[in-house]
Amino acid sequence: MAKRILIVDDEPSIRKVLSAHLRRFGHDVDTVADGAAAIAALQDEPFQLVVSDLKMPNVDGMQLLEWCVVNQPGLPVILITAHGTVDTAVTALKKGAFDYVTKPFDRDDLHAIITKALATEAANAKRLAPEPGEELGMVGRTPAMQEVYARIEKVAPSPTTVLITGESGTGKELVARALHARSDRASGPFIQVNCGAIPENLFESELFGYEKGAFTGAVGSKPGRFELADGGTLFLDEVGELPLDMQVKLLRALQEGVIDRVGGIRPLTVDVRVVAATNVDLSQAVANGRFRNDLYYRLNVIPIPLPPLRDRPEDVPRLAQHFLKRFNSRLQRDITAIDDDALVALQAYDWPGNIRELENLMERLVLLSDADRIRLADLPEGFELPEDDDPSEPRTEELESMGLKEYVRVHTVKLERARIQRVLDAVNGNVTRAAQQLGISRKSLQTKMKDYGLRED
Ligand SMILES: Nc1ncnc2c1ncn2[C@@H]1O[C@H](COP(=O)(O)OP(=O)(O)OP(=O)(O)O)[C@@H](O)[C@H]1O
Ligand SMILES: [Mg+2]
């Protein structure tokens, strides 16, 4: 595949020779005459390689290298030096240059170095690739979450109504904000209404606003949340709590794009994208007559269901580490790790409060821990190592009657299996990399996987 290469040299003849040479290998080449222009080009578009002269006016090759190391880590920089400046070249290597070539250069040498640099760049790019969901501020890479990310990216740009469903603490608000942030309304307002928190008699004026004198106490006029969200997103949280008469008015607003202030004379046109969320089953509410069928279908044009955390235990360690990092820096603590057995217990827990519960727990653990790590014993009651019903494994009564040695062995086996599974998941089943991470040989990992019934994919 063609790679984009940036050539930086103040000498026009060198630019010409080099670019002709690289183009012959099918690369896409840009040339600039100094470091400042190079930085501008790099900020503009992605390049896979920089080949730069050392000595240039203004921003020289060394300064360019320093900029690249900080701002585009993983981007290889090859420096060109004149004969006799090898010392500087060595300094450049120490600063992170990929390699250097001396003028006049041998084409084969240069070609070999460039091939190697591009291969390194490709490997770096892979390693530096963002975690799925990272750009949305969301952690988790299980298939269920990947589906959520894909749907957010897909529907964010359209003005269509979205209904986010999921148990409490699964991330509904986070998704609503991500939808707004990824839309072309991102610079417009994001207005949130918690439908469960507004007294029934205030709903209409809260949502649609009122005119002066509309009711006793309306001494002035006031815009509602719909109007405030004009040009942006209106997030209707707990939409299942909306009273029936308000549901009619919401439907009209959605269908016709107009609202009526209480006591208003003529309807107002608004340009609002509505994102609704609920943790109750709206179809059930429809069946019970508490939610209008027509509004349900209007809201549910694009559903985004969020999985409960207990259905994706593979994401628990990643989330726990994410919150550990966050609270460590926020609370200025220095807790570096979570013990493996503690992670296993976190994974085995069923998280009725989902991610919020995990977040709160991590905050408490980071705050209260008196060690430099979080241990199984630090976890509150209710967190235990799993005791699964695998018939090949001893049951609780058997465990209790076991000698200490056997008891430890059984638990170690469980821990080991869980750890191997986790690492394999993290490296997408790549046995070589998993073995590296686990610090055991590939062969012994394969033996263990066979023993534990773990497959390679
Ligand atoms: N995928 C995720 N990655 C990282 N943090 C998350 C993720 N999902 C949710 N959170 C965090 O968990 C907490 C709860 O999320 P959020 O408030 O969005 O949940 P919710 O579904 O709206 O809950 P509720 O139904 O109780 O209102 C927030 O602090 C949020 O930042
Ligand atoms: Mg919420």
Q: How far is the CA of 382 from the centre of ligand 1 (A)?
A: 22
Q: Provide the pLDDT confidence category of residue 272 given band limits of 50, 70 and 90.
A: very high
**Residue 297: what pLDDT?**
95
Cβ–ligand 1 distance for 173 under 6 Å, the answer yes
**Residue 366: what pLDDT?**
94
Mean pLDDT of the region 131-142: 86
**Residue 49: what pLDDT?**
95
Cβ–ligand 1 distance for 139 under 6 Å, the answer yes
Architecture of the domain whose range is 396-451: Orthogonal Bundle (1.10)
Provide the token pair at 146. Answer: 């990947």
pLDDT tens for 286-299 read 999 999 999 999 99
Q: Provide the pLDDT confidence category of residue 135 given band limits of 50, 70 and 90.
A: confident
123 HSE (CA, 13 A, CB side): 7
- To test the pocket of ligand 1, the residue of 174, 309, 326 to mutate (highest count of ligand atoms within 8 Å of its CB) is 174
**Residue 358: what pLDDT?**
97
Q: How far is the CA of 427 from the centre of ligand 1 (A)?
A: 26
Cβ neighbours of 15 (radius 10 Å): 19
Beta strands 222-223 and 209-210, pairing class: antiparallel
Cβ–ligand 1 distance for 279 under 6 Å, the answer yes
**Residue 266: what pLDDT?**
92
Kindly identify the ligand whose nearest atom is closest to the C-alpha of 170. 1
Mean pLDDT of the region 12-34: 90
- Residues pairing with 78 in the sheet: 51, 99
Over 90: is that where the pLDDT of 92 sits?
Answer: no
The whole-angstrom separation of Cα 258 and Cα 229 is 13
Cβ–ligand 1 distance for 183 under 6 Å, the answer no
Kindly identify the ligand whose nearest atom is closest to the C-alpha of 305. 1
**Residue 238: what pLDDT?**
96
- Classify residue 400 as exposed, middle or buried by CB count within 10 Å of its CB (0-12, 13-18, 19+): exposed
**Atom number of ligand 1 nearest to Cα 173:** 18
Asked if 4-127 and 152-306 have one fold, the answer is yes
Q: How far is the CA of 168 from the centre of ligand 1 (A)?
A: 8
- To test the pocket of ligand 1, the residue of 193, 309, 356, 359 to mutate (highest count of ligand atoms within 8 Å of its CB) is 356
**Residue 410: what pLDDT?**
74
Note whether 315 and 142 are within 8 A (CB). Answer: yes
Of residues 261, 260, 251, 207, the one with CA closest to residue 229: 207
Most confident of 53-62, 213-222, 265-274, 409-418: 265-274
Q: Provide the pLDDT confidence category of residue 87 given band limits of 50, 70 and 90.
A: confident
Of residues 284, 282, 186, 196, the one with CA closest to residue 232: 186
**Percent over 90 (pLDDT), the chain:** 56
Three-state DSSP at 224 gives: coil
Which residue puts its alpha carbon closest to atom 5 of ligand 1?
A: 138
Q: Provide the pLDDT confidence category of residue 165 given band limits of 50, 70 and 90.
A: very high
Q: Provide the pLDDT confidence category of residue 84 given band limits of 50, 70 and 90.
A: low
Mean pLDDT of the region 434-439: 86
The whole-angstrom separation of Cα 51 and Cα 1 is 19
Over 80: is that where the pLDDT of 129 sits?
Answer: no
- To test the pocket of ligand 1, the residue of 173, 194, 282, 322 to mutate (highest count of ligand atoms within 8 Å of its CB) is 173
Cβ–ligand 1 distance for 240 under 6 Å, the answer no
Q: Please list, in sequence order, all residues whose beta carbon lies within 8 angstroms of the beta carbon of residue 432, skipping any fewer than 6 positions away.
A: 442
Q: How far is the CA of 235 from the centre of ligand 2 (A)?
A: 10
Over 80: is that where the pLDDT of 311 sits?
Answer: yes
- To test the pocket of ligand 1, the residue of 136, 239, 355 to mutate (highest count of ligand atoms within 8 Å of its CB) is 355
Which residue puts its alpha carbon closest to atom 26 of ligand 1?
A: 168
Three-state DSSP at 53 gives: strand
Mean pLDDT of the region 97-120: 87
The whole-angstrom separation of Cα 444 and Cα 438 is 11
* More confident site: 323 or 371: 323
Ranges 22-26, 395-399, 438-442: which has the least confidence: 395-399
Note whether 225 and 191 are within 8 A (CB). Answer: yes
Tokens 């390693």 found at: 127
Q: Please list, in sequence order, all residues whose beta carbon lies within 8 angstroms of the beta carbon of residue 234, skipping any fewer than 6 positions away.
A: 191, 193, 225, 226, 272, 273, 274, 275
At position 436, the amino acid (one-letter code) is Q
Most confident of 88-102, 176-190, 379-393: 176-190
Over 80: is that where the pLDDT of 456 sits?
Answer: no
Q: Provide the pLDDT confidence category of residue 257 given band limits of 50, 70 and 90.
A: very high
CATH match for 152-306 among 3.40.50.300, 1.10.1740.10, 3.30.420.40, 3.10.129.10:
3.40.50.300
* More confident site: 128 or 321: 321
Which residue puts its alpha carbon closest to atom 23 of ligand 1?
A: 169
Over 70: is that where the pLDDT of 83 sits?
Answer: no
User: What are the structural domain ranges in the chain?
Assistant: 4-127, 152-306, 310-378, 396-451
Q: How far is the CA of 138 from the centre of ligand 1 (A)?
A: 9
Q: How far is the CA of 381 from the centre of ligand 2 (A)?
A: 26
Cβ–ligand 1 distance for 99 under 6 Å, the answer no
Most confident of 92-96, 362-366, 449-453: 362-366
The whole-angstrom separation of Cα 457 and Cα 453 is 12
Cβ–ligand 1 distance for 356 under 6 Å, the answer yes
DSSP H helical ranges for 237-315:
244-256, 282-287, 293-299
Note whether 351 and 165 are within 8 A (CB). Answer: no
**Atom number of ligand 1 nearest to Cα 353:** 26
The whole-angstrom separation of Cα 345 and Cα 349 is 6
Architecture of the domain whose range is 4-127: 3-Layer(aba) Sandwich (3.40)
Note whether 263 and 257 are within 8 A (CB). Answer: no
Note whether 218 and 210 are within 8 A (CB). Answer: yes
Kindly identify the ligand whose nearest atom is closest to the C-alpha of 144. 1
Over 90: is that where the pLDDT of 205 sits?
Answer: yes
Mean pLDDT of the region 425-448: 87
Cβ–ligand 1 distance for 318 under 6 Å, the answer no
Which residue puts its alpha carbon closest to atom 18 of ligand 1?
A: 171
**Residue 388: what pLDDT?**
58
- Counting every residue written for the chain, the total comes to 457
Note whether 114 and 7 are within 8 A (CB). Answer: no
Mean per-residue pLDDT of the chain: 89
Cβ–ligand 1 distance for 363 under 6 Å, the answer no
The whole-angstrom separation of Cα 425 and Cα 314 is 8
Kindly identify the ligand whose nearest atom is closest to the C-alpha of 309. 1
CATH of domain 310-378: 1.10.8.60
**Residue 398: what pLDDT?**
63
The whole-angstrom separation of Cα 412 and Cα 51 is 53
What b/e sequence results for 285-300 when a residue is b if at least 16 CB atoms lie within 10 Å of its CB, and e otherwise? bbeeebbbeebbebbe
**Residue 390: what pLDDT?**
54
**Atom number of ligand 1 nearest to Cα 166:** 21
- CA distances 112 to 22, 117, 404, Å, are 12, 9, 61
**Atom number of ligand 1 nearest to Cα 358:** 12
Of residues 2, 14, 5, the one with CA closest to residue 45: 5
Cβ–ligand 1 distance for 166 under 6 Å, the answer yes
pLDDT tens for 348-404 read 999 999 999 999 999 999 999 888 899 999 999 889 887 655 555 555 666 666 667
Q: How far is the CA of 237 from the centre of ligand 2 (A)?
A: 7
**Percent over 70 (pLDDT), the chain:** 93
